[in-house]
Structure 1
């Protein structure tokens, strides 16, 4: 717990302040053990450790002293639970079912000395997409009591960011919203690995070089220089004299030998 005050407008320069407090009627008044000082060494605040907040009012007294003039004291009765600033929920976890769109959010209530019931708290849950340039909250929930909630993802291929804070809903707990929790990241995000990016770049570069080479060779006619044409063979029948069919005589001779008949056909040039 931390208490602060300001020096009086007309307080002499040597004025010093001292804080006394009584947590309840059953306790004795105690002086501050850890003062907060300004640049002149004057007490302007106090830090209390291991404070037990109760449901009855606590008594505070700030007394001042000076060699030059008397200093007016200040006293007040305060319900500490009404001014308590709650810590955020702890142990926040999110477990998602990869086969479905449901995620289960779980947490533990703030630890305070004067209440140990979940029903005494309410929670604000803010969820947004990771990397959202607008930075706006996609979902906002207010939940009374409990320590878990189901969340249905609208996009299973995105990562989400979640944060929570708490306030009193009933009992003797401050109704003011406390501090936000640390951001919790959950969900899946399809990210192409660096090795895949490198392979894609190499493939695209190779394709571009091939296309440029083909276009250049078509314009420069380098294919003919690289691959010479094979000459076509000349016809072996070119230049032979024409044969006069009238000068040809067909002679057919039949030879019979056992069971086989052989017919010989020959062209004889006269």
Structure 2
């Protein structure tokens, strides 16, 4: 409780100051300063307790009436409605506003809105309690030009109590591929019953009513996710999802609620082609084309990975750019240099995004090892040719005799005349 300042509460030192004898100019200045500080303190307390002062004079304001929290089955988008207090319906010389407060479980804090409307729509996590509080604000001549606030009226909405806690799915992972279709998959709960049958429902502001998934993802015959076509999605608004279900025995599974902004789950397609050239100055120039899909080129950024093989180990560098070309710093062209690229939606088009898969690497081989390999191949070819010529020359001079193995006759022609004359000839032996 506060109190209301009257004339008897005003610091008397501020008025008595003029009646005191002035011993010196310095003493007068100090006393005047103290009196001013007391006066300012009094005014501050008065302002802070102005509402209580008005109430002390009999001016009060009532809180709103008939506060309701309505669930239109939009999976977390709730409608809050209240009415004007009956005592203020015929009020003409004051303005009326309302202060709405609700606990935001996503931000873990109270959110405050001041409005002249009598309704408001907000997003809530239906797995937790919903707390709403509304005050009436009155301002104008009827309250002596001030603004006073009523005490609050509150409403609480409890989550549905269905199924055991362990029967609820653990998590939901959604990927918006190339902005063409989205897949959401979930993990089963800790206490998943035998042969459960899951159902996924979704809603966004572009829909008149909640819809069930039309294309479930099946794993071993069981539902483990949902595929959404492009025309069923809406960006930059709450996309609400609820996954519930039942067991084969007919027991309900605890529902799980999720709210996401689908533009924050975009994953581009991988880049298909890279063009890599070595420049005379020792640089490498890389070019590529943006991945195909519905993503605007101005919303994409790229990460270029350059890898240089070294005797000690690979040297790895990564650079982020919004261009579709990249020129590396001076690199050793005598070694193998490989490049690959991936893309994502940058921060000016979404709060978060998912990197695409890496492109296939594009490499330029090591020049030194290639030269050595060519030299070895050339030497081998020359050696084989020389051996073939030698073998051909030897085979031309060798003759195989009588078909006997390992028997060879060398062609021989003796010098001189060793012919024998006929018997009785002059050429006979003596």
TM range, smaller chain: 0.5 to 0.7
User: Tell me, what secondary structure is at the counterpart of 2:253?
Assistant: coil
Q: String of CA shifts for 1:71-108, please: whole Å, max 9, x gaps.
A: 322222211222333434443222333x4433321123
Pick from 222, 239, 261: which aligns with 1:58?
239
1:12 Cα deviation from its structure 2 partner: 3.7
5 Å-filtered alignment, 1:89-108, equals: 89-97=271-279, 99-108=280-289
Q: Is the 8 A contact 2:217 2:227 kept in 1?
A: yes
CA change 1:25–1:154 in 2 (3 A) is same
As a proportion of its length, which structure holds more helix? 2
**Alignment partner of 1:125 out of 304, 327, 330:** 304
1:38–1:44: 8 Å Cα contact kept in structure 2?
A: yes
Aligned equivalents of 2:328, 2:243: Cα separation in 1: 50
Range with bigger deviation, 150-159 or 57-66: 150-159
- For 1:187 and 1:150, locate their aligned partners in 2 and report how far apart those are by CA, in whole Å: 18
What is aligned with 2:213? 32
Report deviation, 1:21.
2.6
Of residues 70, 76, 82, the one that matches 2:258 is: 76
Q: TM-score, normalised by structure 1?
A: 0.59
Normalised by the length of structure 2, the TM-score is 0.39
Contact 1:96-1:187 within 8 A present in 2 as well: no
Higher relative CO (CA 8 A, sep ≥ 6), structure 1 or 2?
Answer: 1
1:43 aligns with 2:223: yes
Question: How many angstroms apart in 2 are the aligned matches of 1:112 and 1:134?
Answer: 41
Shift of 1:162: 0.6
User: Structure 1: how far apart are the matches of 2:305 and 2:342?
Assistant: 9
Consecutive unaligned residues of structure 1, counting only runs of 5 or more, are 206-270
Cα RMSD of the aligned pairs, angstroms, is 3.4
Moved runs in structure 1, 4+ residues, more than 6 A? none
Counterpart-to-counterpart distance in 1, 2:250 and 2:225: 23
> Which structure has the larger Rg over C-alpha atoms?
1
Unaligned runs of 5+ in 2: 1-181, 388-430
Which residue of structure 2 aligns with residue 141 of structure 1?
Answer: 319
